[in-house]
Amino acid sequence: MSTVELWNGTDDRLSRWQDRASDLFNPILVKEVRQSLKSRQFIITFLLLLTSAWVVTVGGLAWAGPLVEYTPAGHRFFMGYYFVLCVAAHVLVPISAYRSLLAERDFNTYDLLSITLLRPRQIVWGKLFGALLQVLMFFSAVAPFIAFTSLMDGFDLPRALLLMSLTLCISLGTSMLGLMLATVSRQRHLQGVISMFFIGGLVSTFFSYQAAVVGENVVAQVEFNGDFWRVLGTLLLVGVSYVILFQEVAVSQLTFESDNRSTGIRVIAALQYLFWLIAIPIAARHFSRSMHLTGEVLTIYCVAAALHWTALGMFFCVEPDELSRRLKRRLPRNSLLRLCLVPWLPGGSRGLLLLVFQLALLPVAIVVLGYGLHMIEPGDVRRTLLLAAGCAGYVIFYLGLGAAIGQLFRPLLQPAHVRVITLLIFAAGVIGPYFPQLLQDSLPGGYEVLFVSNPLETLSEIDRGGVSGDVMMSMFILLIAAGLVLAWLLPRMVAGILEIWSPTITPPVTGGAS
């Protein structure tokens, strides 16, 4: 066999291997790579990144002069390159990912993708991998400049690797957040509001991050000990959990309405909540080296749980209750198992049931920490229980009231409208108590029962230890109001349970008589 024939045979085998390997790649990733490499936005960003890095190099050398060989200038050069990289990775890449998926829906090209064999999860991950590839290309553009910086005094390789890894994680997390926000609504005016808040949040987060890393030089003060790695591992675990949650939300919004769009989100949210209930007391006790949890930790403990389920309950509690025939056919045959699955299945009534069950775990956790594990001082147990009951009561009252209004006017209101109405009711409850005092030209001098609808005033007063008669009366009114809302929605929740307990499955439509 001649050399030419051997080379041709090897080339043919290599081409066949490349063809088989390319089939393994996500088609959306291939599409995104081809589009991004040809897009004017990516080319301009890449050239500006190189130009900015070159300006930092020339300007830094001109400023340092001959002293660059004798002074620790490596740190300053690296931070200049790092700032330029963060502009692209923290701001431009997430915006590009957000716009890429939003454009698929705006130009109706997603409808073409939905009729192919591609699943919504593949589409979302393909968009995320496209953002990852862009970040890596920006990294490759800055890498030669950082290699030049490593030859100078003052360059710290471990801290540089930490910052670069942190930048990659933040970019991927915000990109997935952008992909999720791109699927939340298809209405133009809501998309404009979401775009404004998303871009504003990215810019403000970028400057806050730079102020901490560059201005305060936080990373230079970090000690690579056991506590640091435990904190870093915990933060990474939390970040990964929220990336998975954002991905599940994006997938659910791209899934057909007749399919299960809620169970995955509910399971992930419950696991996150359970993680926080266990991790926060352990971490606080470990780092404070104290036998008891501080008041600040307990306040964060309760407020974080309330915010977590408020954000998710805005979606869970306004879903339509009716299950599609496809979902009913997938229910298990065992009635007891179906009963256990009730809170995790789609439906607003079942979502409210899950919300009540999960918020009930908060006072239980306080009791276990206070009386079982003795991690709360005896004098703080009552205050913390009152704070937990207040957080749970406000969440159930406002979300339940919004769900009740949505049920009452169900033919007229869509889930998005119910969310807006719930936010308006909450805003009225917060602002309303101040009007009587403003009309009297007087400022609030202390807590009054009038502030019962304002969770900020009530919970702040409880946190300050003010367990007065007005506070107790407000808590009594709040819990009665939350109970009345649940009683109003009880028939709906019972119907949601019975729909799973004994589902009525409509047989498929068959053809006409022969």
Condensed to tens digits (0 to 9), the pLDDT of residues 271-305 reads 989 888 888 888 877 777 777 788 788 888 899 88
pLDDT at 511: 47
Those residues whose C-beta lies under 8 Å from the C-beta of residue 238, and which sit 6 or more positions away, are 272, 275
Q: What are the residue ranges of helices labelled H in 87-156?
A: 93-106, 110-114, 120-149
Q: How far apart are CA 420 and CA 413, in angstroms?
A: 10
What one-character-per-residue DSSP string does 333-400 give? S-HHHHHHTGGGSSSHHHHHHHHHHHHHHHHHHHHIIIIIS--S-HHHHHHHHHHHHHHHHHHHHHHH
Q: How far apart are CA 247 and CA 239, in angstroms?
A: 12
Those residues whose C-beta lies under 8 Å from the C-beta of residue 453, and which sit 6 or more positions away, are 428, 429, 430, 432, 433
If you ran DSSP here, which 8-state letter would residue 262 be given? S
Q: CB of 121 within 8 A of CB of 251?
A: yes
Q: How far apart are CA 45 and CA 39, in angstroms?
A: 10
Q: How far apart are CA 312 and CA 269, in angstroms?
A: 8
pLDDT at 513: 41
pLDDT at 267: 92
Q: CA geometry: angle at 236 spanning 234 and 240, to 5°? A: 120
Q: CB of 492 within 8 A of CB of 405?
A: no
Q: How far apart are CA 369 and CA 164, in angstroms?
A: 39
Q: How far apart are CA 248 and CA 240, in angstroms?
A: 12
Q: CB of 145 within 8 A of CB of 57?
A: yes
How many helices (H) and strands (E) are present in the chain, helices listed first? Answer: 20, 0
The 10 Å Cβ neighbour count of residue 417 is 14
Q: How far apart are CA 25 and CA 126, in angstroms?
A: 9
Which residue type occupies 397?
F
pLDDT at 255: 80
Phi, psi of 318 (to 5 degrees): -115, 10
Structure tokens at 210: 């730079």
The 10 Å Cβ neighbour count of residue 168 is 15
Q: How far apart are CA 98 and CA 92, in angstroms?
A: 10
Q: CB of 359 within 8 A of CB of 310?
A: no
Predicted structure pTM score: 0.80
Give every residue of the chain whose pLDDT is below 70, as ranges: 1-33, 36-37, 64, 67-70, 105-117, 214-220, 437-445, 466, 504-514
Structure tokens at 348: 């607003």
Q: CB of 488 within 8 A of CB of 396?
A: no
If you ran DSSP here, which 8-state letter would residue 65 be given? G
Q: For 202-211, b where at least 16 C-beta lie within 10 A, e where not — what string?
A: beeebeebbe
- C-alpha distances (whole Å) from 243 to each of 90, 99, 236, 265, 275 are 15, 18, 10, 12, 15
Angle between helices 415-431 and 378-408 (to 10 degrees): 130
Q: CB of 295 within 8 A of CB of 463?
A: yes
Q: How far apart are CA 80 and CA 78, in angstroms?
A: 5
Q: How far apart are CA 287 and CA 306, in angstroms?
A: 24
Unique residue bearing structure tokens 């915010």: 307
Q: In terms of C-beta density within 10 A (0-12 exposed, 13-18 middle, 19 or more buried), how is residue 334 classed?
A: exposed
